[in-house]
Every structure is written in structure tokens, then in C-alpha cells.
Structure 1
Amino acid sequence: LMMKVASKKGISLYKPLLLKQDIGRDTMAAVEVHKYELPGIVVNVNPRRHYLNRQSAAHLIGYLGEISPVELKSGKYPGCRQGDLIGKFGAEKAYESFMRGKRGGKQVEVNAVGQVIKVISTVPSQPGYNFYLTIDQEVQEKTEALLEGVIGAAVAMDPFNGQIIAMASNPSFDQNTFVGGMSHDQWESFVSDPLKPLTNRAVQGEYPPGSTYKIVTAIAGLEEGIVDSQTTLEPCKGFFKFGNREYGCWKESGHGKLTVSDAITESCDVFFYQIGLAVGVDKLKEYAAILGLGSQTQVDLDRETGGLIPTAAWKKRRFGVEWQEGETLSLSIGQGFNLVTPIQMAVLISAVGNGGTKYKPEIFKKIESAEGRVLKESKPQVLGKIDASPETLELVRKGLWGVVNSEKGTARGSRIHGVEFSGKTGTAEVVSRKEDETDEKENVPDHLKPHAWFIAYAPSENPEIAVAVVVEHGEHGSGSAAPIAKEMIKTYLRTNRYQE
């Protein structure tokens, strides 16, 4: 009978066929008790990945899932067969080939009804390699705790080698949910969740950069000769008149005369409007690209997005209309069509802090054999250099130092006792505000409130950590994003260098 059924179903009698998995202890015991009445039925006990810290670093580590028929046929997973678990997301997917071992097996002799008579030969299985991440667990857990209750992401990296110290995205998910498989309804509940817990906002989330983009505009203005260390443009009166419209500054009473470093410190919109107009949209794009914006960082995580830095030609292709100079004003302060990811901003602020070198973000530290032999170690990979003079970068860093340490700095409330660090706040508008709209914040729905940014490196001299934090609809970088970055920095420096 078994042979007839197998023949009709196209099933080989000499290859194991999975009947059911995850049967539980009671069922397993029942099968074992009656195994002589169930010829050919064998219970296999296999190890399973278990994530000890549940949601910790879930988006970075990723998860396992059963290989699909399409993946089996792709040829990318040699040695795998139906029912095997493979990396589906994150580091689990990126380094699947390193961590997967080699299957073992037994050649056995069976009787007519499939019962094993004797073992002819055994091929032992080979374990995969041990994979070590760059993550600092204490900083990672602190970052995740800081993001609880908000939607957003945070990235911390070493400015001098690109190693990721922490990467968190909230909301998150429990990786163990995926290991045992899930029903269609369970999967649908994940993918249809409006909060998108499966999205790694650190590498996939695209946001207007807000005033953090003023770093780009400042470098463009300095390198193009629009301003120098002493230049003071038209004084800020709280607005800038262009054409028949007034473009406001966040400080309604105005900032007065400022140098470029002061303008960064106080985040004066009017100063950067003027630089943006003088430089132009296409030149701004060039400098944004030099700083790593508008393209992927090449981090070893799938589904990374590259953001968007527009040009006049892009708008013509996309919308069929010409670029308007008024749009350049918005662009110069990080609004308009600009879109960046948190990991891009981490690379940018790292490069500014370290003197101009952009490093590829690295999540793997080393790979070891099962016996503990080091097979591969991470080495810094340079993506490029910021094409700007040392003097330009020094003026920008002076302004970033003032953001935190000056009495007029926009993040002065986030200072750390005993440590000077540098940064830039940002408030990114979600929707354009019409000319006749008021700015009464209490009337703005939560989903229309601006996103909050803060990017920083610490200490200001010879930085050891760079961070980028975005809080969706957090309104102001100084109030919601900067405190998170401050605590991340404190945790890292306390653990690695300083004591309370």
C-alpha cells in the first residue's frame, strides 16, 4: 500500500518526507511508544534558533523563516531542502552563507516496510561559523528603552571605522515569532499594521532632514566662496523677503548679523536661505552627494533606501514643470523634496567629526569557526572623502560645538557634565504650511506635527561615537531627539571611558 501511494504521489521511498513539525512533547512521546506499530515513522529532534532578548536589535539581527519554493529554485541556497530555515531579514539574511552549517546524515538499510535494520555509514554534520556583531549591548538596550513610546530610529557608530555601536527602530517585533512559522492571518497583521513594526526605520525610513541639512548648505557656501569665516549676510529680522513672499525664520524676532558658525549654532533660517539662493539647487545636490546623501551607505542590511536629493532636472522629469527659485530656499534648510535616512545622517556627522572621511557602516566584527579560530575580522572601508578644505570643516565644527555648548545653541539643554560634544538639531515639516495658516501648535493633529532630528558626535575633540536620532512627529529636535542622543552618548562614554 505504501509503495502504491508513494508511486502515485511521486514520492521516493528512500528520501525522508516531512509529515508534521512542532509536534510537542506529548505527541512525540506517543509516537515513540507506538513506533513499532508505525513502520517508517521517525521522530527527529532538531535544534532551533532562539532569540534570548526577544525584541533587542530585532531589525539588525533579523529573523529566520522556512525556505520558500522560489528560494529553493533560485540556486542561492545550496544544500537546503524543503522545511529548512534560512535567514529572511537583517544580519541573518546577509550572512546566511557563513552561519549555515553542512548537513550530516546516515545511510541505513531498511526492510520491506521501511524499518531500519542497520546503519551502513554516518556523515557527521558540520556547524556553521560563529558570527560576532559590532553592537555594544548596553548602548543598544539603552537606545531601545529611550525609543519606547515614540516612533523613530537611532543609529550610533564609531566615527573612525564605521562600526555600528547601536541601531534601533521602534516599534519593533519579537524575532521568535517567525522561527516556528506563523499563520497567514498572523503575517497579515504584521504587514498591515499602520505602525510598520517590520520596517527598519534606521535604514529604510526616509525623512526630510530639517535643519541638520544646514551642514550641507554651510559647506557649499564656504567652498563656493559665498561666505567665509567673517562674512555676515543680510541680517535676520525674523523673515526673508523673496519675490512677493516672506519666508520666515523659526525665531520671529530675528537673529541679527551672524557668521556662518554662529548661524549653525543658532540655526538661523534666513542666513541659509541666502546661501541656498546663491549656490543654487544643483550645486546643493553636488555637496549633498559628497556628504553621502542621495545614495545607499552600503551597510550589509537588505532593503536599504537611498533617500532623495532633488535637482532642477529631476523635478522636470518627475512633475513636468520647471524648478522655482523659491523652492531652493526650502531646500537649503532641509525641507522640500529632501529625504534622508538615519544611517546616512550617522555617516555624514561621523565624517564631519573625524575630519572628512566617510566610512561604510559595518555591523560585523569578526567570524570564527566552531573551534574558535578567527576566520575574518572587520576592517574599515572608506567610502570617500568630503571634498572640502580643512578650514571649511573647522568652521562647521565650530558651529556644531556651539549648538550644544553655547548659551545661544539650540541643544544647550542636552549638555553632559564633564564632556563637550557637538551636534545639530532639526525640525522637519511633514506638510507644507500655506501662507494664511496660523502656527497654533495645539491645533495641529499629531500625524501632521514635524519630525524631530538630532545628530551629534562626542567628544568634540577626537570623537569616539557619532549618533543620529529621528523621532516621528516629535516636533523639535532639541526637545525629543537630542535627549535620546545625549543618553546614548552618556551610556557609551561611561561604559568605555568615563565614570559618573
Structure 2
Amino acid sequence: MNGHRLIHESQGAKRHIAYLSIFAAALFFLLLTRLWYLQIVKSDELQSQSESNRLRLVPVAASRGTIFDRNGGVLVTNRPSFSVAVIPQEVKDRDALLDRLSKYLDIDRSELLDKWEKGKGRARYFPIVLASGITRDQLELLEENRLWLPGIEIEMKPVRQYESGTLAAHLLGYIGEVSEEELKKDTTSGYNSGDYIGKSGIERSWETLLHGRDGGRQIEVDARGRVLRTISETAPVGGSSLVLTIDTALQTAAEKGFGEQAGAAVAMDVNTGEILAFVSNPGFDPALFAGRMPPDKWKEYLEDKRHPLENKALKGQYPPGSTFKIITALAGLEEGVVDDHTSSVCRGAYVLGNNTFRCWEKRGHGTVNLKRALKESCDVYFYQLGEKLGIDRIAAYARKFALGAPLGIGLENEKAGLIPDSAWKEKRFGKKWFQGDTLPAAIGQGYVLMTPVQLAAMIGAVANDGTVYRPHLVKRIIDQEGRILQEFKPEVVTRTGISPRSIRLVKEGLLAVVNEGGGTGGQARLYDVRVAGKTGTSQVVKQRDKKGAIPYQYRDHALFVAFAPYDKPEIAVAVVVEHGEHGGSAAAPIAGNILRAYFEGKKAASKPVKAGKAPASEEGDGAEQAGEEQTSPPASKEE
């Protein structure tokens, strides 16, 4: 009995040992499996989590390059701005954090959540910027409550400061936070959510050069987010700076000349193509786009019938009106259709088939030759000349001035304008070109379209006897220490090949426009410098209200192109006043103000400066004083 009992107990013990062994082996296997899973399968993720618990990567934004005017005056520089960023790995209760931030920053919670979600995919090591441009009071409030804001970082980033407010806003452009669409492009590989990028104007076109290269610091922090030490650091590389061709005093005078009127003006050096003034009026405040645009201001911009956000100098395409008669006149002279003695009789209208084409002067101009036709802008003379030339010859001479295509000014989205011909109409509309289409085109109406930049380049080429220079806005690139990295030289787009005699005859007519009795451009006359120019009126489809008045949006555009001095041209100017109705009364005075400011500025620059006193005209005051002292020229006849 005892033997059987011992045997039974021995077998039971062996079973217990076997069970325990199996249990231990299973437990050991599970431990090994877990270790394998953690160390092999999840190693990267866990290592990242471990590092993010004690290490932070703090981006250090590069200082954006400064933008200067041609005389070294600062147009755009930088100022410090504070942003709120979050490291998602350190946040356990996202909803509670967003609720607090929404309260402290007075920002809608949905806006913060949207930025969080958009930044998650790119922010494994980088903080996600939730709010930019916070105030000093908000910064202090966040610092006071940092214990209840886990994972929050305050970043200092340089943002743009536009020294002259809205001056040259369309030219300089603005910056804003990089969008999701922009982050997907190859050109933004070095950008992260919350970074600033150029959105328009010079800021956008020269973004790569201005932006520089961001740096960063890898720091170790404790559980409360306090910095313990810096692990590694990469210094940022500041962006290069730009010296523009713009003259601030001239730009100021040009913008002031428009007042509340909408339109554009371009002033250009006729011998280099350098843009001296580039106006699109009304302007906007570019600083507002770097932060949170006030809703009421955004609404104001969108609802303004003058379209302040549109770059009219670059993208505005207008029928050039009678300024285009310069091209028609040159074509007629070069083709031998007219000369300086050829005359026509204007009785106020010209009949072609069943159509009557009227002159702006209803009573007619009587017998006119080329010079008088230009001086008084006789439409009938140019109707007849256009009929003899035909549209294809007119278009060919327009293209000699590089019209109908972008000039490559160096800003994005430059418009091409339109120089129509018979082949264009056939392709565009599937219809034949008729002589009835040619007559309006000969005086810059119908299908013909030009931008203010093209108008300036055209009159500049007439001034310099036939060379079309590429308009450009950047004079040189310099580094942070002011050393020249690259300097831009004049670039010829094309040479028209038009004979000096033809250009001289047209110039004589343009001189008469401004300086002789009966000329349509007398409001641009200066008393110490001879100005030559041409007025234009660009027709808009007319509609009258119940009282017979023409509403603003249906009034004609006013244009004027000019150059000076007549004998040795230096500067060309093109002005378009939207819905200004008459070039002689609306656009010519603005061009006169620009030219006066230019020459007064030259006088001031040539005068010796007394010790301890700077010349007032360097700030634009001299031009205004000169303008006040002069007597206005006599009113001129208009188209």
C-alpha cells in the first residue's frame, strides 16, 4: 500500500513539475515575444517617443533679406514676432489644451484644431504652429499658465515690417503662412507648417533668395518643459537682400497724384529699362497678411469697387485708346502711306460702308496733317490711315515694340495684352477680319489691349529712338554685410528698326500735344523741361442711370504716356486712370506731377548740402513746393 502511495505521489509531483515547466516556458515565450515586439517591431516608434519626452527640436527662423530702394532707403525689413507651437507627443489631453489656448489667445477653437490636424503629418520632430503674431499680453498670459499647457512652445520668428506702410504694396507684395498646397511642391522642401513664404510681388518672385535657410536647436527638457541643456545647434543663414530700381520719393509723388482715383502708373528710365515708380492704386496694407487679417478689413478690400488687391500696373489690360496712334503713325510713315505733308479732312465722322465712325470732336478738326492729327488726336485722320494700312501691317509694327506678349518684368502673372490681326480673329472666333474691325484698332480700341508696363516700354522706345529695353525692378543683390553678389545690366528685348526720320516726325507731334495750343496734353506741361506725350481715352460700354448719368463702372478710362526731356530723354511715364473719362484732364496731370518730382529730385541731388541740414527735397518735399509755386498750365482740349 505504501509503495503504491509513494508511486502515486511521485507521479503527481512529476505532473506538477511538468505543468510548472510548461507554464514557465509559456511565460518565458510571451516575455521573449513581447521583447521582440518592443525592441524589433516597435523600436523606431518607441525610440521616437522616448526622445520626444526629453528632447525637443526648436526651429530657428532665418532673418529674411531686406529690400532697399535705389538710393539705399529701407523699404522692407524685419521685426520680431511670437508664435505659439505645440509638440503633439507631449500632449495627453488635446481637447483640454485647445480649450485653454482658445481662451487665452481669443482664437476660435476650430481654427486651432484645424492647424493641429493639418500639421500632424509633417510634425514628427517639428512643433506645429497653432497661432502667429500673438501680442505681448497674450505671451505673458501663456508664460504664467505654462504648467497647464503641456507641449507648448513659444517661438520667435522675424516677420516683415513695411517701413512706408502701403507704399508700393503691389510691387513689394506680402508674406503669409505657407499653405498645405505650397508644402507639397518641390520648391518648398525646406519649409514646415507655420513658416512664412512670399505670396505676391517681389516677396514671391524672389522668395528663394530672400528666405535664406532656417536653423534649429535640439534641447533637453525636464518633465515641466524647462530647458536643461542644448544637445546640438545649426545656425540659420539669413536671406540675401535686394536693391530695387524704385525711387521712394518718386513712388510717393506718383501715388499721391492719384488721390482716391483707381489706376496705375509706371515710370521707367528710357536708356536702361529700370522701373523708377510702379503704382497700382488704391493700395493695401501688406503687414495685415502676415498675421490674422481683421474680417472687417478683408470685407472692405473685397467690396471696394476700385479693386485694391489687383495689381493694375502688371495685370490691368486696357484698350490703349489714342496712345496707340503712335504705332499707327509710325506704321504709316514706314510703309510710305503718309508723310509729314499728307493731310485729311475731318468733319467729325468717317463713313465706311454702312457704318459711321465718329471723331471725339463732333464738329470736326477740318484739314489736318500728321503733326496736327497727333496734337489734337483726330480720330478721322487715323481711321483713314488705318484703312489704308490694314490690320496686319498695323499689328506687325506693334510687335516691333514687343507688344502682345509679356515683357518679362520679373513679377509673376504678368499679362500679355493683345495685338489682334486677321489670323487671330479667324482662330479665336472662326470669322473673317473686316475693315470695320480695323478702324477702331487703328485708334487703340476694339480688340487691342495693353498693360501700363507695356505702355511705358512703348513710349520709352519712341523716346530712345527705337530700342525696347526689358523693364526690370531689381538693381542688385547684396548679402547681409552689403557686399554685391549680383548686379543687373540693361537688357534689350528688341530693336524696332524704325527709321530715325519716322520717329522724329512722331516725336514732333508728341511735343506739340503737350506744348502747343490745341494740344490735348497741356496739363502735363513743365516750364523748365520740355515734355512730349500722348493722351488717350479708352472706351467702356456706356450705360446710363435713370437720370442720364453714367455710373462709375461704365465711364471711360483715361490714359497718358510721356517722356522728357524732349531733346535728351531720360524718363518715360505711362498713366492709366480707371473711369477717369479724359486723358488730358485726369491722366496728364498725374504724369506731370511724376515728371516734376523726378526733375526736382535731380536738382536737389545736385545741390551741395550745408553742414547739419539735409535737403528737404530728398524726402519729396522739394517737388511739392515747386509744384505749389508754379502756375497751372492752360486747360487743353480733350478727346
Give me the TM-score of the superposition, normalised by structure 1: 0.92
| CA drift at 1:320 | 3.3
Spell out, residue by residue over 1:355-388, the C-alpha distance to the aligned partner (whole angstroms, 9 max, x if none): 1111111111111100111111121111101131
Q: Which secondary structure state, in structure 2, belongs to the residue aligned with residue 394 of structure 1?
A: helix
Q: Distance in 2 between matches of 1:219 and 1:294?
A: 17
Q: Which of 457, 471, 475 matches 2:563?
A: 457
Q: Which secondary structure state, in structure 2, belongs to the residue aligned with residue 358 of structure 1?
A: strand
Q: Which secondary structure state, in structure 1, belongs to the residue aligned with residue 558 of structure 2?
A: strand
Aligned AA (2:568): N
For 1:231-380, what aligned pairs fall within 5 Å after superposition? Answer: 231-232=342-343, 234-380=344-490
- 1:27/1:449 CA distance change after superposition, 3 Å: closer
For 1:87-486, what aligned pairs fall within 5 Å after superposition? Answer: 87-111=198-222, 115-182=226-293, 187=298, 190-191=301-302, 193-232=304-343, 234-431=344-541, 443-486=549-592
Deviates more, 1:129-138 or 1:235-244: 235-244
Q: Distance in 2 between matches of 1:83 and 1:91?
A: 21
Q: Distance in 2 between matches of 1:329 and 1:410?
A: 21
Q: Distance in 1 between matches of 2:579 and 2:142?
A: 56
Asked if structure 2 preserves the Cα contact closer than 8 Å seen for 1:3 and 1:13, the reply is no
Asked if structure 1 preserves the Cα contact closer than 8 Å seen for 2:90 and 2:150, the reply is no
Q: Distance in 1 between matches of 2:294 and 2:361?
A: 53
Alignment match, 2:600: 494
Aligned AA (2:553): H
Give the CA RMSD over aligned residues: 2.5
Alignment match, 2:61: none
Q: Distance in 1 between matches of 2:134 and 2:337?
A: 72
Asked if structure 2 preserves the Cα contact closer than 8 Å seen for 1:39 and 1:115, the reply is no
Q: Distance in 2 between matches of 1:36 and 1:460?
A: 73
| CA drift at 1:392 | 0.8
Asked if structure 2 preserves the Cα contact closer than 8 Å seen for 1:231 and 1:259, the reply is yes
- 1:256/1:193 CA distance change after superposition, 3 Å: closer
Percent same amino acid among aligned pairs?
44
| CA drift at 1:396 | 0.8
Give me the TM-score of the superposition, normalised by structure 2: 0.73
| CA drift at 1:410 | 1.3
Q: Distance in 1 between matches of 2:124 and 2:196?
A: 24
| CA drift at 1:57 | 0.2
Aligned AA (1:371): E
Asked if structure 2 preserves the Cα contact closer than 8 Å seen for 1:451 and 1:475, the reply is yes
| CA drift at 1:142 | 1.1
Q: Which secondary structure state, in structure 2, belongs to the residue aligned with residue 156 of structure 1?
A: strand
Q: Which secondary structure state, in structure 1, belongs to the residue aligned with residue 152 of structure 2?
A: coil
Asked if structure 1 preserves the Cα contact closer than 8 Å seen for 2:147 and 2:224, the reply is no
Q: Which of 39, 55, 62 matches 2:166?
A: 55
Spell out, residue by residue over 1:22-44, the C-alpha distance to the aligned partner (whole angstroms, 9 max, x if none): 33222322333454665543322
Spell out, residue by residue over 1:223-258, the C-alpha distance to the aligned partner (whole angstroms, 9 max, x if none): 1110123222x3222222322343222223333333
Q: Which secondary structure state, in structure 1, belongs to the residue aligned with residue 139 of structure 2?
A: helix
Deviates more, 1:104-113 or 1:300-309: 104-113
Q: Distance in 2 between matches of 1:204 and 1:327?
A: 25
Q: Distance in 1 between matches of 2:485 and 2:122?
A: 41
Q: Distance in 1 between matches of 2:217 and 2:397?
A: 62
Q: Distance in 1 between matches of 2:386 and 2:180?
A: 53
- 1:220/1:30 CA distance change after superposition, 3 Å: same
Q: Which secondary structure state, in structure 1, belongs to the residue aligned with residue 126 of structure 2?
A: coil
Q: Distance in 1 between matches of 2:124 and 2:379?
A: 75
Aligned AA (2:199): K
Deviates more, 1:28-37 or 1:155-164: 28-37
Q: Distance in 2 between matches of 1:313 and 1:305?
A: 21
Deviates more, 1:350-359 or 1:301-310: 301-310
Q: Distance in 1 between matches of 2:296 and 2:421?
A: 43
Aligned AA (2:439): L
Query: Which runs of 5 or more residues in structure 2 are unaligned?
Result: 1-88, 95-116, 605-621, 627-639
Aligned AA (2:366): G
Spell out, residue by residue over 1:107-138, the C-alpha distance to the aligned partner (whole angstroms, 9 max, x if none): 22345676532112222212111111111111
Aligned AA (1:209): P
- 1:348/1:122 CA distance change after superposition, 3 Å: same
Q: Distance in 2 between matches of 1:432 and 1:322?
A: 27
Q: Distance in 2 between matches of 1:251 and 1:195?
A: 30
How many pairs were matched up? 492
Q: Distance in 2 between matches of 1:444 and 1:20?
A: 48
Q: Which secondary structure state, in structure 1, belongs to the residue aligned with residue 191 of structure 2?
A: coil
Query: Which runs of 5 or more residues in structure 1 are unaligned?
Result: none
Q: Distance in 1 between matches of 2:227 and 2:375?
A: 78
- 1:446/1:198 CA distance change after superposition, 3 Å: closer
Aligned AA (1:407): G
Aligned AA (2:382): F
Q: Distance in 2 between matches of 1:423 and 1:78?
A: 49
Q: Which secondary structure state, in structure 2, belongs to the residue aligned with residue 18 of structure 1?
A: strand
Q: Distance in 2 between matches of 1:376 and 1:32?
A: 45
Alignment match, 1:64: 175
Aligned AA (1:168): V
Alignment match, 1:22: 133
Q: Which of 192, 197, 200 matches 1:86?
A: 197
